[in-house]
Amino acid sequence: MTQDPNIDSKIGNDAQILWRIVMLCMRYPGRVIIAVGATIIASLFQLAVPQLIGSAVDGALGLIEDNNTVGYSANMALFKTAALLLGVSILRGLFTLIHNYTGEAVGHMMAYDLRLSFYNKLQNLSFSFHDKVHTGELITRGMLDLEGVRMFVSTGLVRLVLLTVLIGVGSYLLLSTDLLLGALSLSFVPFVAYRSAVARLKLRSLWLALQERMSIIGRIMDENLTGIRVVRAFGAENYELEKYKTAADAAKELADQRIKTRVSSTTIMTFAYFIAMGLVLWFGGLRVLEGQLTVGDLTEFLAFMTILQLPVRQLGLLVNSFARASSTGRRLFAVLDMKPNISDKKGAKPLKITNAHVAYKNVSFQYNEKDQLPALHNISFELRKGCSLGIVGPPGSGKSTIAHLLTRFYDVTEGKITIDGQDLRDVTLDTLRRHVLTVPQDPFLFTTSLENNIAYGDPWAKDEQITDAAFIAKIDNFIFGLPESYKTLVGERGVSLSGGQKQRISIARTIMLNPSVMILDDSTAAIDAATEQEIRQLLKTPMQTCATIFISHRLSTLLHSDEIIFIDNGRIVERGTHESLIAENGRYAELHKLQNLSTKNSEHIATKTKEVKL
Amino acid sequence: MNRRSDKHSNQKRNRRPPRAYVGSQSSQEEDMFGALFDGGVVGRFMTYVYPYRKNIWIALVAVLIVTAAQLLIPLIIRHGIDNVILAEDGNATDLFLVILFFALVITINYFANLVQDRLIGITGEHVIFDLRRAMYCHLQSVSLSFMDKTETGRLMSRLTGDVNSLQEFLENSVTAFGDLVLLFGIVVIMLTLDFGLGILTLSAVPTLFLVRMFWLPRARVAFRLARETNSSANGALAEGIRAVQTVQSMRRETVNHDLYDDKVRDNLYAHLKSARMAQVMVPIVDTLTGAAMGIVILLGGMQVINGTLDVGVMVAFLFYVQRFFDPIRSLTIQYSVMQRAMASGKRIFEVLDVPLAINYDPNAINPETIQGSVEFREVTFSYIENQPVLDKVSFTVSPGETIALVGKTGSGKTSITSLLNRFYEVDDGTILIDGIDVRNYSKQSLGRNIAMVLQDPFLFTGTIFDNIRYRTTNATQKDIEKAAQLVGAHNFISQLPNGYNTLLEEQGRNLSLGQRQLLSFARALVADAKILVLDEATANIDSHTEREIQLALKRLLHGRTGIVIAHRLATIRGADRIIVLNNGKVIENGSHSDLIAKKGLYESLYALNHSSFDDLY
């Protein structure tokens, strides 16, 4: 939301969103019909209870007054009423079970459908989308917003039917029995309905505001704990406590306000209900005294009121549920309706690799149309199997962007990229990404075993494939040293890996797939120089069969490349081999001096450091 | 729902491969089956409620009044029917009196209700805020070794999740008290009105308890499974979002889709089962209510016919029965809330019980400024017993001097700086600042006189200004800008659209690492301490930014005692003296030229001509 409010705006108005949810439920028409039918039947049985109570009271009383056939038949009548009441209660219970369960079931089935499509959508949406929308924001949409839509089925739709029948039919029955008493016993309904709806909406906005303030507290605590060393180092405990107190006081104020709002509305609603009850008792009592009404009728009215009390209070929940469903539905559907802007074009062919001949021809790229400066400007280079290209440049110069274009995480704005003569936009994404692989700077490891992590790209891989890849990435010794070897879990409950170890797993993951084009995007930054050199040696064999691009700010990583390009502000400012660039005495040579490296030394690091055991 | 799957089964490969999972493979077990009541937890919790005892007492009285009013209403109706409406001499005036009394009762009920709910709600809220604050406060002073061991996420879940479940418990427990009183009241009144009929009507209740006892353990398993599959599916979703780059570049979309499908399907079935479990009690309770009412109608009615029971009593009974099952229902829900609260309480007090490893002397000295000399005298220190990280380390630093600590990872460099600030207590030996043991300084004075720049330039959410100023709240805009200029951060800050008022996102993600490091230098400069400790983090900084950082360092150290953990040769050479550490021991100590002349370890490292000693291992 915060990143791009526009993505939510095109989904239509509230009514359209709610209608869309209803339509999603209608994928299960049988269950919906059962739920609605059972709801109606259950509420009718519910409405029968007061009448039975009333007639029971009258039955017991009327027989005293008549004072004749005391005995068998009177008891028989009572027995009938009692049995009927039991029967009605059982049936009401059964139908309530059916409608509650089916309502929930439809909600959960719809949620299942939505979960799957949401997950799928996110896996396929292009990078430009994931750049814009915050991870936490997406998780919220997939969890909380989806839950809001699901709840709408049972708390919104089914309850709407229930309340309509109960209040509608109930009112009809009461009013047709006695207009005045009926009106009196229903007098609390409009008031309570109104109050509860208003209060719910107000509570909702208070709740959202409170959540906001609570999340500030959460953030303060989280930052304090994560940055505890800074806090301690500066002796800033009091400052931190003060910061916390300010935030907590602000939240407490809203929390109090929320409770006050809630309490004042619930208590006034109960009060209104009891006032109506008092009025019924009063006027009903007068009628009975005048002989116009039986005690049974009066009891029936009072019993009706007991039944209506709860549903009427729930009107507020109903309003709340509609409000929540339309806002959460909007946020959810906004994502579901998104179209990935990178996908196979019609008639896309599989990528065929012969020489792994990569060519960038006058490539320019802009992340955003609004951006004034292009991220890449007029980039051209060529590369083929067995050769390597080094890309160096200051942070933010566009190095990684070059890599992202080759795997088509973004499409070029101008110019074109071809592999063996085939434009990337004309081949299928699946084959492209099967052949072109990047080892990212900050790899993502999954909370599964190490072997599954290495085999991420080919989960059918054989054990040897995995161990071979691990050997090349120089991580096999480390893995063998672990108690469960390749089966060791990664993460909190397993082994925690250093940045360099993660990068090595990531290299193994890529090597295992035998890519035709491999991009190492600063993927050895956290690996010490000596190990890096060893990996370089081991990579020599796989590099013979693929085109390799090295992106790094550490010159030792790329100085052996067949060509090196120096990028600044999205443009190539220098290009050539290491020797020619040094001779040119420009930016590259300056950087080289700064890094204080000589070719000779870096070659010997691996061997020499072993001699000097610290 | 089995729309899919068959269509694809003929594919050449099984789409659910052997090595693929989505979401975490390790399940997070919930310790839900703890004790129902833990005296220790409740007792300690009560100490937080104690300051609000007046409110609690008032609330309890209000609860009693509300419950009494609830119980009175059917009795008033009963009185109205038997003694006025059906009485021989019943008239409108008597009825009016009854109504007047009814009005009085509901008005009292209204106010008592208002007092009860408000006091309970607000008190509960405040107790929880106090508790959270106490935990937060405590964590500010617990030993760093505890914080090192404990993941932030785990602490956060105690500070939020566990605290919230206690709040739920607190709010519920007062209503539960009301429910209990109501239940008890109904039983007493029914038995007083008509003992025989009361006993018979209540005979339905034990059945409910029996059924509940049978149902509860099964239901809880089902509910738990639903919760677990939920969090497992959500975990997989979160993973899918975070790892989207890997997923897309490794083409795992289809495989993951199928695996996720399995997860959400499990989730669906678990929820359907738990919904069945939840709903199965409805007809049972309804049947029992119907049975109880049937008993009242049949037996009560017969008594009315016989003239042994007033019809008003029968009506009152019917009303009571209708209300009777509600408190039982909510009390059984209370059961699991209570169990959860006990487990949460235990975890909360665990945090509050973490010992403060460092006890500050109440008579500690608190000097405004110091000279800045530092001495380590035979300092031995270990994180784990018998595995000393520092072994009899001795050295001195004169005021204004800069020393560089050199050595491989784990040689004890960072421990030296941590001990100086008394993050930990030494096992043996003494650390002196201006010739006085650090243990004799107050915590504030150590924080004030030693500034640190750490490896991770941690920044807080807020403006750049706030971050540079940090706890030196009396620093002016001018001071801040001057500091930023000195460390070379002013240029990039003033190029930002909002300058010093630029808001930093999550830990300054909108700045580069080098820029963040410069801000942390400025922060240390503003704190203006005599001793400056730099756990230099140039390893993560690209060469382009490094020159600026070196320049900033020089300015920062001017006129201060500096202890620098150095990686880059440039920094090391710039130090007045170099101390080489190995396995927790000082093995060389002298100026760059001294050490080169000595031809020891430092010289051999230097000869290798590395840009950084980090590369060695």
- Write out chain B residues lying below 8 Å of A438, CB-based: 249
Specify the CATH number of the domain A358-576: 3.40.50.300
Using a CB–CB cutoff of 8 Å, tell me whether B134 touches chain A.
no
**Tens-place pLDDT, residues B206-220:** 888 888 888 888 888
Per-residue model confidence (pLDDT) at position A8 = 65
Residue A601 has pLDDT above 50, yes or no: no
Cβ distance A460 to B19 less than 8 Å, yes or no, reads: yes
- Write out chain B residues lying below 8 Å of A125, CB-based: 244
A320 to chain B, closest Cα gap in Å: 21
Using a CB–CB cutoff of 8 Å, tell me whether B4 touches chain A.
no
Contact, A449 vs A479, CB < 8 A?
Answer: no
Residue B27 has pLDDT above 70, yes or no: no
- Write out chain B residues lying below 8 Å of A598, CB-based: 609
Contact, A439 vs A523, CB < 8 A?
Answer: yes
Give A546 or B361, the one with higher predicted confidence.
A546
* Distances, alpha carbon A471 to alpha carbons A446, A474, A566, in Å: 20, 5, 32
Distance CA B607, CA A585 (A): 26
Cβ distance A112 to B103 less than 8 Å, yes or no, reads: no
Per-residue model confidence (pLDDT) at position B496 = 81
**Tens-place pLDDT, residues B402-421:** 998 887 666 788 888 888 88
Using a CB–CB cutoff of 8 Å, tell me whether B209 touches chain A.
no
Contact, B547 vs B516, CB < 8 A?
Answer: no
The SS3 of residue A361 is: strand
Using a CB–CB cutoff of 8 Å, tell me whether B267 touches chain A.
yes
- Say which range, A252-261, A377-386, B30-39, B77-86, has the weakest mean pLDDT: B30-39
B444 to chain A, closest Cα gap in Å: 6
Distance CA B52, CA B71 (A): 29
Cβ distance A278 to B139 less than 8 Å, yes or no, reads: no
Q: Tell the residue number behind the tokens 């993973």, with chain if given.
A: B239
Q: Across chain B, what does the average pLDDT equal?
A: 82
**Tens-place pLDDT, residues A128-148:** 777 777 777 788 788 878 888
Per-residue model confidence (pLDDT) at position B409 = 62
> Does the structural domain B374-615 have CATH classification 3.40.50.300?
yes
Cβ distance A295 to B471 less than 8 Å, yes or no, reads: no
Both tokens of B222, joined, read: 């089902």
Question: Residue A370 — very low, low, confident or very high, per pLDDT cuts 50/70/90?
Answer: low
Cβ distance B133 to A245 less than 8 Å, yes or no, reads: yes
Fold of B37-194+309-357: ABC transporter transmembrane region fold (1.20.1560)
Both tokens of B94, joined, read: 């008597």
Q: Tell the residue number behind the tokens 């042994």, with chain if given.
A: B308
- Write out chain A residues lying below 8 Å of B315, CB-based: 57, 295, 299, 302
Q: What is the ipTM of this complex?
A: 0.83
Residue A541 has pLDDT above 60, yes or no: yes
Q: Number of Cβ pairs closer than 8 Å across A and B?
A: 445
Q: How far is CA A166 from the centre of its chain?
A: 37
Per-residue model confidence (pLDDT) at position A7 = 61
Superfamily of domain A1-178+320-339: ABC transporter type 1, transmembrane domain (1.20.1560.10)
Distance CA B609, CA B605 (A): 7
Q: SS3 breakdown of chain B: % helix, strand, coil, rounded to 5?
A: 65, 10, 25
Parse chain A into domains and list their residue ranges: 1-178+320-339, 179-292, 358-576
Cβ distance A528 to B614 less than 8 Å, yes or no, reads: yes
Residue (of A45, A66, A47) closest to A294 by Cα position? A66
Residue B32 has pLDDT above 80, yes or no: no
Using a CB–CB cutoff of 8 Å, tell me whether B252 touches chain A.
yes
